[in-house]
Amino acid sequence: MRFVKMHGAGNDYIYVDARNMPDRDWTPIAREVSDRHFGVGGDGLVLVLPSRRADVRMRMFNADGSEAEMCGNGVRCFAKYVIEEGIAQPRGGVLSVETLAGIIRVEPFWREGSVTGARVNMGPPRLRPSEISVEVEGNGPVLDHPVDIEGHSLNLTFVSMGNPHAASFLDEPVGDFPLCAVGPKVEHHPLFPNRVNFEVANAESRDCLRARVWERGSGETLACATGACAVMVAAHLKGLVNGRVDIIMPGGVLKVEWPGEGDVWLEGPAERVFEGEWKE
């Protein structure tokens, strides 16, 4: 099985062209290839498949083998992969990608014939608790919902970007927060029947946020694009930021736009790391 490893701001995935492969159980394969000691190493596995609704279809599996709806960093790298491999090409400057979160439209950035990053229409945020899959009553948005975990009093704001997120804005630096201890407790909290991605963030200015993410099924990652979008939406709803922000994550900077209604737009890099053969 030929693969290419890629990353967007340090959020790394293994990409496989599965269009002509027989159907199989990808869950154990995702766990094996994602293992950073005994496998290729990555935050998950991404498959390229044919689509009847878009230019191409993306399936994404987390490092624990669970299938996710979408990944903003992953879809930028996905676009770079399918374009440079000759699998699909943008039409009118836009590549349409079918995901479990819907059709995602990606506008690649080019330099010297290579795709270096992309601007992505992430669609509108979903703010009703029933759309996010959180056990809270009401129509939403839900801001600063109090939860006590591991001795930490968290005020959680809930957003779905096609996958569920809970964001908490801290007074302390996010670098000092024990994310690896608290993150799993939030992910598996009874509030979230389908688990949740958890972000901690600092509002450094009206144009800049700093964040760390505990990703459902993968643990702490160097960046999470849907998480960055969720943090931006949450910050905007709380009146902390303007309509365009830089979000600093451990793996790099993502740019997110949201004026308070309509679609969220994301910009970030896409980089190829290496390729190889995986013997199943």
Using the Cα atoms of residue 230, residue 165, residue 269 and residue 178 in order, give the sign of their dihedral. positive
Q: State yes or no: is 208 an active-site residue.
A: no
Nearest CA to 80 among 244, 271, 279?
271
| Active-site entry in 71, 77, 180, 229 | 71
Cis peptide before 190 (omega within 30 of 0): no
Phi, psi of 140 (to 5 degrees): 80, 170
- Nearest CA among 98, 110, 28 for reference residue 64: 28
SS (H, E, C) 23-61: CCCHHHHHHHHHCCCCCCCCCEEEEEECCCCCCEEEEEE
How many beta carbons lie within 10 A of that of residue 49, not counting itself?
14
Active site residue 71: yes
3 state DSSP class of 70: coil
User: Which one is catalytic: 180, 208, 224, 229?
Assistant: 224
| Catalytic residue ranges | 71, 224
